[in-house]
Homo-oligomer: A and B are copies of this chain.
Amino acid sequence: MKDLTLICAILLVILSLKYSTVEAKIRHYRWEVKYEFKSPDCYRKLVITINGKSPGPTIRAQQGDTIVIDLKNGLLTENVAIHWHGIRQIGTPWADGTEGVTQCPVLPGDTFRYKFVVDRAGTYLYHAHYGMQREAGLYGSIQVALPDGENEPFVYDYDRSVILNDWYHRSTYEQAAGLSSVPFVWVGDPQSLLIEGRGRFNCSRTPDVASGVCNMTNPECSPYVFTVVPGKTYRLRIGSLTALAALSFEIEGHNMTVVEADGHYVEPFVVKNLYVYSGETYSVLVTANQDPTRNYWVVTKMVSRNNTTPNGFGIFNYYPNHPRRSPPTVPPSGPWWNDVDARVNQSLAIKSHRDYVHPVPQTSDRVIILLNTQNRINGSVKWSINNVSFTLPHTPYLVSLKHDLLHTFEQTPPPDVINGYEAYDINIAPPNVNATSSNSLYRLKFNTTVDIILQNANTLNVNNSETHPWHLHGHDFWVVGYGDGKFNASEDPKRYNLVNPIMKNTVPVHPYGWTALRFVADNPGVWAFHCHIESHFYMGMGVVFEEGIEKVTKLPSSIMGCGDTRRFIKP
């Protein structure tokens, strides 16, 4: 009888395993990217669409599912690559979609298959990772649900995704050409802010209204409407894919409870304004508990830089009021752009949910201090990390390293700390000596624990330090500390949060401050780590990590065909 029970138990386990195997679905998408004229903020311009849309289709999957995307490049002369932001690509480093790091770009007319497992529930993003194409509109949302029978540590009635973005009227070509020009031409402030692909540029500001290029009656730029039923609670998944702007987001008269960040459960806390940096995602809960006879403003605002970009507006629409009915109030003006403390405080408030703490290693094997500085190199303005301004190689590192094409990038690794770090004054413009451009990378010992200190500093302008959201590919990291001023390597680590730090894939370093991260180099592959501001990465603000390259299995030939991998073309 005891044996029978055991047999039954084993059978049940086998059945349940089989059950979950059956459950993991393959979700197959066929996408075609194209240039099309769109007017997301009432101003008509060329946008890169996926199957006719920008933002592209939302990927909805369940934890453990395999996603297959057959991406057809329908552009005329331009290549493409898409990154699955927040998906760690465990076992599939070649599917990370980072041109120059994990793959060659996809040529016009070609179809590239991305195939990877979404191994953890949460809110993620996808976007172009080639040139500055993300800014051209090539982005979207990924929602990964828990397995059947598992529950989130919070409850809600409905689930919605919204991507915040900033928007430029000039083409990404023009922006990039300006950034590469001598003299340097800065991209400037965005013309508008988009909420789920909808903004509103004031056409009376432009002569293009006469030609019809700017048209405020275009339905494509009618405001984003978030319709709610009184009394219900909504999970709102907010992601930012701004090219430049740090944002605040608020819903007039409603509190938001932060419950998820970058796919990890947060010990809940309440905010009126949520600050969101490019590359971050949050889930907030909002209950429709205000006067239901009216609508409310949804407001997003550019912060951290003094700017000319008008706030972006949407409508929080209480059913059954008309969704286009304007709220009777003046929209909230949002927080002061320069309120650094409020933003730092939000960063500090984000801790792991008590029931979902991933234990953090108590020590690390290596500390890399990444000091960011603005520099001039050959007359161009660049961003440098430890005096090295990053450039992408034209042969993807993943292939170079696996196939011993080591001549394709510089072999001297960048420094773990800048020479003369102790004496470096982060409060003044950089002395600007010895900054160079390089495509070298950091090689991490497999399975070691690495601390990264993002150290902010003054830009080339007096009394100016900016917020930089850094995004790590292939991993989540624990955010073990934030600090003001210059990191003190002997004292500051003593105050690290090694109890309940949140895990994230994107984190800001605040003006004149530092942010300390810890991660385990346990994902064989080559992974970019960079400022998620499109122009900053373009200007060199990034690094690349290699780990366990010898454990990477046979690379698919689909990622090859550019740079030195052309030697593999053998007809």
Contact = CB atoms under 8 A, between A and B. Distances in A.
A420 interface: no
| Tally of this chain's copies | 2
B110 A562 contact: yes
A562 B399 CA distance: 18
Interface stretch (A172-180, A265-273, A466-474): A172-180
Contacts of A181: 36-37
A561 B571 contact: no
A108 B561 contact: no
A263 interface: no
A100 to B, nearest CB: 8
A403 B173 CA distance: 37
Interface string A558-571: 10111101101111
A403 B571 contact: yes
Nearest to A557: B569
B131 A77 contact: yes
A181 B38 CA distance: 12
Contact of A107 (B105, B177, B207, B403): B105
Interface in A45-83: 46, 76-80
A337 interface: no
Nearest to A76: B131
Interface string A532-571: 0000000000000000000000010110111101101111
A213 to B, nearest CB: 11
Given A403-B571, A557-B566, A104 B105 contact: no
Nearest to A107: B562
Interface residues of A, number: 43
A35 interface: yes
Contacts of A105: 77, 107-108
A316 B9 CA distance: 98
A171 interface: yes
A133 interface: yes
Contact of A36 (B79, B104, B177, B561): B177
Contacts of A35: 173, 176-177
Contacts of A431: none
Contacts of A133: 77
A569 B560 contact: yes
Contact of A557 (B107, B207, B571): B571
A527 B354 CA distance: 69
Most buried by B among A109, A133, A178, A570: A109
Interface string A358-394: 0000000000000000000000000000000000001
Most buried by B among A35, A133, A403, A566: A566
Contacts of A76: 131-132, 173, 176
A233 B317 CA distance: 79
A415 to B, nearest CB: 26
Nearest to A568: B571
A319 interface: no
Nearest to A564: B110
Given A394-B108, A571-B555, A46 B77 contact: no
A394 B565 CA distance: 20
A46 B130 CA distance: 19
Most buried by B among A131, A133, A178: A131
Given A77-B79, A79-B107, A181-B37, A558 B562 contact: no
A133 B561 CA distance: 22
Interface string A87-113: 000000000000000001101111000
Contact of A565 (B177, B178, B565, B569): B569
Contacts of A171: 46, 171, 173
Nearest to A394: B109
Contact of A207 (B37, B207, B566): B207
A76 B46 CA distance: 17
Contact of A566 (B130, B177, B178, B561): B561
27 contacts: A36-B181, A37-B174, A37-B178, A37-B181, A76-B131, A76-B132, A77-B78, A77-B79, A77-B80, A77-B105, A77-B131, A78-B79, A79-B79, A105-B108, A107-B107, A107-B562, A109-B562, A110-B563, A207-B207, A399-B571, A557-B566, A557-B570, A558-B566, A561-B562, A565-B571, A568-B569, A568-B570
